[in-house]
Chains A and B, each alone.
Chain A
Amino acid sequence: MRTIFQALWATGFSFIVACVALQAHAQDAAPTAEELAAEIQAIKQEYEARIQALEGQLEAMSTAPAQPAQPMASPMGRKTATTDNVFNPAIGLVLDARYSTHSADHDFNPAGFQVGHGSERPLEGLALGHPELALSGNVDDKFFGAATIAMDAHPGESVELALEELYVQTLPGAGLPDGARIKAGRALWTFGYLNEIHLHADDFSDRPLPYRAFLHEAFNDDGLELSYVLPTDIYAEVGGGLFRGGDFPFANSESGTSTLSAYGRIGGDFGRNGAWRIGAYMLAGEAHHRSGGAHDHGHGGEEEEHAHEEGEDAHDHDEEMHHDEDEEMHHDHDEEMHHDEDEEMHHDDEHLHAEEEGPFEWANIDAFVDGEFSGDVTMYAVDARLTWAPTGNPREQEMILQGEVFWRVEDGMYSLPGEYDTPSFSDSTSMGFYVQGIYKLNRNFRVGARYARLSPPDIPACVLHEDHCEHDLATPNLDDSVAYAVMADWTNSEFSRIRLQYNREEVHKFVHGPDPDAVLFVEQDDQILVQYIMSLGAHAAHTF
């Protein structure tokens, strides 16, 4: 499986390299490609002939319109120019506030995953959601620039500003080959469907499980991305990027250029009123001392400390878990065990009774939550989206089906700092997916449902014992966490929406404590969210 993926990605990536190489050849006409084999030479020669022919055609086409004074050669003359933005840059403010209730007492900590900032459940009660200030505009004829500032407004505390995006991308006038674009800075990069989409444009109030576990909401590292739309009848786009390696699931890159991506997408229409798109993506890099709690944007330690200061909530919560709530938790847990999960639990118990002594197994288990990961991380994703409007008017009625699958391969170790300074090896694959459907009943009302699932690593970890890995230790069968969501929202105009959502999460967790009978349990969380999302000023047009 892995090999196939690698082959797929290598092909995609090399394609871009090939395109760039071809462009370079077309320009200097002095090919230096010794490093490539002779088979490539033949292809290349054929190409150069073809490109010269194309260039000839292009020249013939482009010399002519240069003579008349551009569009003013029109018989009537231009009466008005109406397309330019009145304001530059365009400024937009997203207003987002919500009310949430949860039935679970604990944080979102699915067993086998290191969770962090973007994985959290929304703050209970009344709170601001994810307000954003967005600025964008054409820098000049060659570049477009944009910035999005997310405001993390912890109640009662100062507002924490996060630079979610700040990038420049080339416009068609920049002189790149037709269809090619370079984007550089920090952005919501191309990886799956939702990653590129701003949270306020989501169809649900929260990101689905795999996004929360694998990407901590979204991958918006610092870096650059090249993309190319092929000149084909069917929509086809390929691209790849180079990133710092500072955003989850990567961390603390030493070189600052340690993460690579590649993707390919195709899409088209079905019938008069339907459209589809599918894509495949890869993201590969490394993590050094990656901890879950802090959102790392390449300033590693500093920001981590900062986050700990600011995030007192999280801290308190941890302590609660350790001390105050142990009893309550066991109680909950016991109930769950006895009623719902008897068989499963017995199975796990057997494993655990097998080794009762020593703190190692606990260190091992907790490493996912509290420990640090160092090693290689590779992620793959496949996404598909299908839209259909009965009359061709998505504003009146529409059906949208969407799904994404993620695989993550981590090859490295989880280790717990401090008292349990035990590295835990992990070389395993975890998987997650979601599928969702949205139905727009009329101009104002939409309903939707979503199912998400998260499969922890097959072999969660092992404990290093005198230089060898003891797999037998504390490797309970981790079960999948699942989440169901249904929502209904009311849209007054394109700029205002009010949403009601119900979530049920069944999260498989490790219990935090030295009681060997109580290792795994399922925490069921029923959530109700009421949210409004409104926007003032410029409102970026949504892509497909």
Chain B
Amino acid sequence: MHRFLTRALIAGCLTAAAALSALPASAEVRVFACEPEWASLAQEVGGGDVTVYSATHGGQDPHHIRARPSLIAQIRRADLLFCSGAELEIGWLPVLMQRGARIGIQPGQPGHLMAAEHVDVLERPAVIDRSLGDVHASGNPHVHVDPRNIRVLASELAARLGAIDPDRADAYQTRLADFHARWDNATAEWDARAEALRGTPLIVQHAYWAYLFDWLGLERVASMERVAGIPPSAPFLQEVLAHSRSTDVKAIIRANYEPTDAAEWLSERSGLPIVELPSTVGSYPEVSDLFSFFSEILTRLEAIPDQSASVPGFRQPTG
């Protein structure tokens, strides 16, 4: 038995050797991004000095993700955690953090970057109660749908990367300057396009677009979720329908990952077109980075016909 145990121990050591040698030789900063928009930004600022992993893809609802084994493996080795925060990931991130995360990405560390902690959070509720939903208890977490926030976070990210990887701090700052230059140009162009959209009254499915509406000056007439995160109820939809008839609403906005049924129900009865917007980078093949993300949103908003229901065939639901 003793001999057997000794052999088993050797076998164990060999396994450990294999595991350790599987460690990458390069010292690239490993970024664990909760959402694709932050992965994309990390790629812009980190370039070849970082390895970026996105926990979710563009077709997923980031509120509701399974803390699956691959995420534990990825967060286990991450040097920088980059998420939206404001409790968007509360259903899955804490489990991962407890299970696998290193000290360097724990709250308060340079490797712990929550976007919502660095911008003005909208829709912060005065009262916290479950009957008001559970997904936006700390305010609206979808801060990435405003290019001004992206700009702020790019700076913050470059500073964090520099703290984690001081040898390449200059490289991060150089890439940040380059990104900011391109971003400011793009933003100026988007702002010009946005002039025509200002004040457009719209109905949204989920309060995903608060920052977009704030940036573009759009008017949110109603949200189909009375309570953020709880699917629309029939009586409330009736209310929204009545409301949509009495006001000059142009369209219904839903994110690509959201179920279509409620928006279609409302569209059929109100005659309003449904405009599907990409929720993040990667929602459609052509939305490959943050630049194409915002220009695609604008393109789709610009395609809203002027008179509601007057243009037949515009993304009218088939029932």
User: Which residues on A are within 8 Å of B, measured CB to CB?
Assistant: 7, 10-19, 22, 36-37, 39-40, 43-44, 46-47, 50, 57, 61-62, 64-65, 68, 70-71, 73-76, 78-84, 86, 144, 171-173, 178-179, 181, 229-237, 265-269, 272, 275-277, 387, 391-396, 442-444, 493-495, 536, 541-544
A40:B22 contact, CB within 8 angstroms: no
Residues on B with beta carbons closer than 8 Å to the beta carbon of A230: 19, 76
A7-B8 CB under 8 A given contacts A172-B103, A231-B23, A269-B68: yes
Stretch among B94-102, B184-192, B200-208 lining the A interface: B94-102
A68 and B163 within 8 A (CB):
yes
B86-121 interface mask toward A, CB cutoff 8 Å, 1 = contact, 0 = none? 110011101101111111101111101010111111
Q: Is the CB of B139 within 8 A of A19?
A: no
CA distance A10 to B7 in the complex (A): 9
Instruction: State in angstroms the CA–CA spacing of A324 and B148 once bound together.
Output: 80
Task: Report the minimum CB–CB distance from A107 to chain B (whole Å).
Answer: 38
- Decide if B246 is an interface residue (CB 8 Å cutoff): no
Is residue B295 within 8 Å, beta carbon to beta carbon, of the partner chain? Answer: no
Would A79 and B119 be within 8 Å (CB), given that A229-B76, A269-B70 are in contact?
yes
| Complex alpha-carbon distance, A12 and B67, angstroms | 25
| B10 in contact (CB, < 8 A) | yes
Q: Classify chain B: how many residues form its interface, as a range.
A: 35 or more
Can you identify 28 A-B contacts, CB atoms within 8 angstroms? Answer: A10-B8, A36-B9, A43-B17, A46-B17, A62-B104, A71-B110, A74-B156, A76-B155, A76-B156, A78-B117, A79-B117, A82-B139, A83-B85, A83-B117, A84-B107, A171-B98, A172-B101, A229-B72, A230-B19, A235-B72, A267-B69, A272-B57, A275-B68, A276-B69, A387-B66, A391-B59, A396-B61, A494-B134
Q: Which residue of A has the minimal Cβ distance to B141?
A: A82
Pick from A16, A43, A71, A392: contact of B59, CB below 8 A.
A392
* B64 interface residue per 8 A CB criterion: yes
- Chain B residues with Cβ below 8 Å from A84 are 107
Write the nearest CB–CB distance from B9 to chain A, whole angstroms: 4
In the complex, the answer to whether A173 meets B121 with C-beta atoms within 8 Å is no
CA distance A396 to B95 in the complex (A): 21
Contact A50 B20, CB 8 Å, known A275-B68, A394-B66: yes
List B contacts of A543 (CB < 8 A).
67, 95, 99
A61-B164, A74-B118 in contact; A43/B13 too (CB < 8 A)?
yes
Which residues of chain B from 34 to 69 have any CB-CB distance to chain A below 8 Å in the complex? 56-57, 59-61, 63-69
Residues of B within 8 A of A (CB): 4-6, 8-17, 19-20, 22-23, 27, 56-57, 59-61, 63-70, 72-73, 76-77, 85-87, 90-92, 94-95, 97-104, 106-110, 112, 114, 116-121, 128, 130, 134, 138-139, 152, 155-156, 159-160, 163-166, 230-231, 257, 259
Which residue of chain A has its CB nearest to the CB of B65? Answer: A394
Please, how many angstroms separate the alpha-carbon atoms of A203 and B299 in the complex?
A: 44
Partner of B8, one of A14, A19, A44, A495: A14
Residues of B within 8 A of A81 (CB): 117
* Dominant SS among interface residues on chain A: mixed
Establish whether residues A231 and B59, one from each chain, have CB atoms under 8 Å apart when the complex forms.
no
B164 touches A82 (CB 8 A): no
Kindly state the separation between the CA atoms of A269 and B72 in the bound complex, as whole angstroms: 12
Interface-centre pick from A75, A442, A444 (highest chain B CB count, 10 A) = A75
Question: How many whole Å from A397's CB to the nearest CB in chain B?
Answer: 10
Distance between Cα atoms of A68 and B166 in the complex (Å): 11
